[in-house]
Structure 1
C-alpha cells in the first residue's frame, strides 16, 4: 500500500516552522518523499538529509508552475511568510498574492490533492484586551485587506479566507485531481522552540542582563503560546485528516476548516518571559524571592514612540517604517487567548508537552547551540 501522504511539498522549508515540519514529515513512514523550497541558500541554514530542496521565489508564478511540474506533489504545506514586521508591500505580495496564485496553480495541477495553509492567530485580529475566555474558531472574524490593525494581520486574514474558500472536495470523474483541492488552515499564536530567532532567541539572549528586570506595561492579559513540536504535530495531524476524509472515530471532515493550535493553557506575557529567564539561569529569577521589576507605563512608552516614529519618518522621507513601533506592544497589552478544543475533537490534537517543559527543552537547545554572534553548531 502506498504511503498516505505521498510526496509533500513544503514552501518555506528553510524557515523556523517550515524546517521543523520538514523534519517531522521526513521521519514519518506515511510520507514517501519531502520536497522543500527556500528563496535562497544561507550559510548555516538547517537542512534535512532526507529532503530535496529547491530554490524558488513563490511570488513568481512561472517558478511555481515549473516546480509543480517537476515535483508532482500530492500535498502542499504552505508556510512561507515575510515576517510580521516586513514592509507592507512584501506582506501583500508574499502573504496574499503568492498564496492566491499558488491555490490557482495547485488546483489546476493533476497530482495535487490538498493544501495546508499555515496562518496566524493574528489573522483574526487581537482580542479587545484583558480577555476573560479563549476565543474559538466560530467566534473569530478574519481580518481583510481593508480591516485589521497592521499589514501582516490584513494580508494573513485575507489569505486565510482565500484558502478556506478554495476548498473543492468534489473530485472529477477522470483519473487526475485537476479541479479538485482539499484545504485547511492552521492558526498559531506565538511559536517558540529550538531554532527560533524571534521569541526564544531574544528571551534567551536577555538572561542575566538588566532587561529581565524591566516590564513594559501591565501584566494582566492572557496569551496563548505553542511549542514548536506541538505546532508541527498539529500540521501533520491536519494533513493526514485531509486525506483520510474523516477520523476513524467518525468525526466530521476537516476540509474547508480552520483550527487554532496552542499549548492550551494560557500564560501572561511577562510570566512567560520570567519562566524563560529562570530556565535560562538568570540570577535575578532563580532566587527564592521574585526580583524587583521596574514597570514602564504604556502611556510613557507611547509618547516616546510617537516622537521616534515622527523623526524616523522625516529622515527616511517616509520610505521606511521604524522597527520599534507601537503595534509591537499591542500584542503584550491586549493579549491573545485561543481555544484548541476544535483541534482536540476533530484532529485528535493535544500538546506534545506543557509550556514549562517546552521552555525547558528550548533553553537546553540554546545552551548547546547558541552564542552571542548567532553561530549555531547543528
Structure 2
C-alpha cells in the first residue's frame, strides 16, 4: 500500500514508518521538524529512515512542511494517491500546552482539519490518527474505557485531541470517510522523546543527578513499549473503520457510530507504579536514583490505566513486552546513542 505518515520525525511516527518500510509499503513522511525538543534527534531519526529505505529497497519520500500550511498539504495529496493515512503529527506535551496554547491550535486543530479535508477530497481509504489518554481528564474510573465520558479535560492539550475525535466523526458522518482514533497512553522505548520521564530519569541517573518525582511518586502509568504500540497502529490502519449497525441513539456508544468511525485505547492494560518504573531503570543502569519528591503538577492526573480489550478484539492487538525488558532496551539504546 501507499501510506502517508505525518509526524515521521517524531518518536511514534519514526517507528511506524520503519515498520512499514520493512514490510515493503511505499511511504511518504510529512513533518516540519519543529524545535519543541532536540532537532538533532529528529534529524537522526530521518537519516535512519533514509538508510532503512535504501537497505530494504522500499520507496520512501520525505516532505519537510507544516500541516498548518494548507497549500503544502494539498500539494502532497495531489501528487500521491494514498491508500491509507496515519496521522501522528501533533504538538505534544501536557505542561507546554499551559504555556503556549496557540502552538496547539495551529498543529492539532488547523493541521488536523487540513488532513481531514485532503483525505476527503482525495478519497483516502482510511485515516488513522493519534488521540491521547489525556482526554479522560478528571475521570477516576479505572481502567479507562472508550465507553467512559471524556468531556472534562484538565488541560488544553487534551481538549485539542478530544476536538480531533469530534472533527473526525463529523467527516465520517458527512462524507463516509473511515476514521480510527487511537488514544495513546505512556509510550517509551529507543529513540524516545527527551522531554518524557523515561528519558529524563535515565539521563539524570546515569549522570548521578537527582530526578524530580512529582506527586511524591504516587503516580501510576500505563507504560507501553514502542514496538507493541506500532504493531497496534499498523493493525488498526490495515482494517478500515466501519459503521456499527447496532448503535443506539438512546444509549449511544461514544467509541462507535452509525458512521465509519472508531475510537480505541492503545496501551499495555497493566498500570505500573512510577516507583517500580524507576526501579527498573536503576536495575538497567546499575545506578541508584537520587529522588527529589515534589507535589502534583498542574494538568497532571495521578493515574492512567488502559482497557485495550476492544482493540484486541478488533485487530488482535496484544502487547508482549514487559517493563523490565522494555526499559533494558531503552537504556541500551540511550548508552549507544549518547555514548554514555
TM-score strictly above 0.5: yes
What corresponds to 2:311 in structure 1? 343
Of 108, 114, 117, which aligns to 2:121? 108
**2:80 aligned with 1:71, yes or no?**
yes
What corresponds to 2:187 in structure 1? 191
**2:261 aligned with 1:262, yes or no?**
no
CA contact (8 A) 1:120 1:156 kept: yes
**2:283 aligned with 1:278, yes or no?**
yes
Give the Cα separation in 2 of the matches to 1:63 and 1:337. Answer: 38
Give the Cα separation in 1 of the matches to 2:241 and 2:168. Answer: 17
Equivalences for residues 348-359 of structure 1 within 5 A: 348-359=316-327
Of 4, 20, 26, which aligns to 2:21? 26
Give the Cα separation in 1 of the matches to 2:189 and 2:209. Answer: 23
The SS at the match of 1:185 is strand
Give the Cα separation in 2 of the matches to 1:96 and 1:348. Answer: 31
Under a length normalisation based on structure 2, what TM-score does the superposition of the two structures give? Answer: 0.81
Equivalences for residues 147-186 of structure 1 within 5 A: 147-167=152-172, 179-186=175-182
Of 118, 134, 139, which aligns to 1:122? 134
**Aligned-pair CA distance for 1:167:** 2.0
Return closer, same or farther for 1:71/1:156 CA change in 2, 3 Å cut-off.
same
Return closer, same or farther for 1:244/1:259 CA change in 2, 3 Å cut-off.
closer
Return closer, same or farther for 1:38/1:215 CA change in 2, 3 Å cut-off.
closer
Query: Residues 110-143 of structure 1, C-alpha deviation per residue, up to 9 Å, x if partnerless?
Result: 4x11100011111232544xx6x311111142x4
What corresponds to 2:30 in structure 1? 37
**Aligned-pair CA distance for 1:210:** 4.5
**Aligned-pair CA distance for 1:245:** 9.7
- Flag structure 2 segments of 5+ consecutive residues without an equivalent: 54-59, 245-255
CA contact (8 A) 1:77 1:115 kept: yes
Give the Cα separation in 2 of the matches to 1:36 and 1:273. Answer: 34
**2:8 aligned with 1:10, yes or no?**
no
CA contact (8 A) 2:6 2:29 kept: yes
Of 233, 236, 242, which aligns to 1:235? 233
What corresponds to 1:225 in structure 2? 223
Return closer, same or farther for 1:219/1:229 CA change in 2, 3 Å cut-off.
same
- Flag structure 1 segments of 5+ consecutive residues without an equivalent: 1-5, 170-178, 247-251, 286-292, 303-325, 373-378
Query: Residues 336-371 of structure 1, C-alpha deviation per residue, up to 9 Å, x if partnerless?
Result: 112111111111000131222111111111121124
Q: Which structure carries more helix by proportion?
A: 2
Root mean square deviation of aligned Cα: 2.7
What corresponds to 2:106 in structure 1? 93
The SS at the match of 1:242 is coil
Give the Cα separation in 2 of the matches to 1:361 and 1:188. Answer: 20
Give the Cα separation in 2 of the matches to 1:102 and 1:187. Answer: 18
Return closer, same or farther for 1:267/1:343 CA change in 2, 3 Å cut-off.
same
CA contact (8 A) 1:74 1:113 kept: yes
**Aligned-pair CA distance for 1:69:** 0.4
Of 131, 143, 164, which aligns to 1:134? 143
Return closer, same or farther for 1:225/1:186 CA change in 2, 3 Å cut-off.
same
Query: Residues 156-187 of structure 1, C-alpha deviation per residue, up to 9 Å, x if partnerless?
Result: 11112212332259xxxxxxxxx542110111
Query: Residues 140-160 of structure 1, C-alpha deviation per residue, up to 9 Å, x if partnerless?
Result: 42x4xxx52221111111112
Equivalences for residues 239-318 of structure 1 within 5 A: 239-242=237-240, 255-282=260-287, 284=288, 296=293, 298=295
CA contact (8 A) 1:275 1:356 kept: yes
What corresponds to 2:248 in structure 1? none
